[in-house]
Amino acid sequence: MAPANPATPQTESAKLLEQESVKSFLNSDGSLDVLLARLKQSINTGDEIAKYVKKRAMIEDEHYGQLKKSAMNIRATYKNKNVKHDVFSNKLDQVIEFDEKLYGVGSSYVKALNVMNEELVSLVGTVSRTRKSIKEECKRKERDCADSVALAEKAKQKYYHLCDDLEKIKSSDPQKKSFLKNKTAEQQEDELQRKVDLADQDYRSKVNACKKLRDEMLMIHRPTNTKKLMNLILENGHCYECSVAEVLRRGSKHLI
């Protein structure tokens, strides 16, 4: 029976996300900022890997180009000097031929590195744009909630202010209640009562709207965006691991 495969960093990361303490944190107010920062770090890592792969491709290309050039120069030198084909020259010719074949292998390696660099650059760009979109959406939802809270608070202050005015009128001297022209004390009190009732309705409406936005953010938008960010972080890490492994695999194969 074959031994079980050891757990990879990818599966270990996924297991960590199942811990209750982690789940609790991911539902907290600060989770999105932490995940956005972590994804930014992952993007920077991908950018550095892409730069390294590009630099590696340039170095390898220059190396094998010089190798091919050197082999061609030596061949030309021997040809011009009409060197006799003895044992030494035959062995040297074999070495030169090997270097020429090595150039062919090396050039395919360089091409693979360039393709890998392009894929990494594309991945980093896509993830960066997605991160920006999620961040902007999160900020917009938070701003909507904050604006809604501010409107509810303003409506509450208006309601309390009108209640104070109504209470003052009710508790004041009946002969001095009417301080508005052409309105009796009863009319003034009735008008204020209507304003209080309307303000109460407006306040309740804004509180309900605020609660709805808050609930949507906590129950829908935050979990959705949290999941998106976690998936991006995990997928990014997996892609980077595969890219590094491929560089090592091709490099090892190339050395052999």
Measured CA angle at 44 (ends 41, 46), to 5 deg: 110
- Show the domains of the chain with their CATH numbers: 31-169+185-253 (1.20.1270.60)
pLDDT in tens, the chain (256 residues): 333 444 454 556 667 667 777 777 777 778 889 999 999 999 999 999 999 999 999 998 998 888 888 888 877 777 666 656 667 777 777 777 877 777 777 888 888 889 989 999 999 999 999 999 999 999 999 899 999 999 999 999 999 999 998 888 877 655 555 555 556 667 778 888 999 999 999 999 999 999 999 999 888 998 899 889 988 988 888 887 787 777 767 666 555 5
C-alpha 93/C-alpha 84 separation (Å) is 12
Work out the burial of residue 156: count CB atoms within 10 Å of its CB; fewer than 13 is exposed, 13-18 middle, 19 or more buried: middle
pLDDT (tens digit, 9 = 90+) per residue, 150-189? 999 999 999 999 999 888 887 765 555 555 555 666 777 8
The Cα 194–Cα 199 span in angstroms is 8
Burial of residue 144 (number of CB atoms within 10 Å: 0-12, 13-18, 19+): middle
Which residue in 28, 66, 71, 56 sits closest to 247, CA to CA? 56
pTM above 0.85, yes or no: no
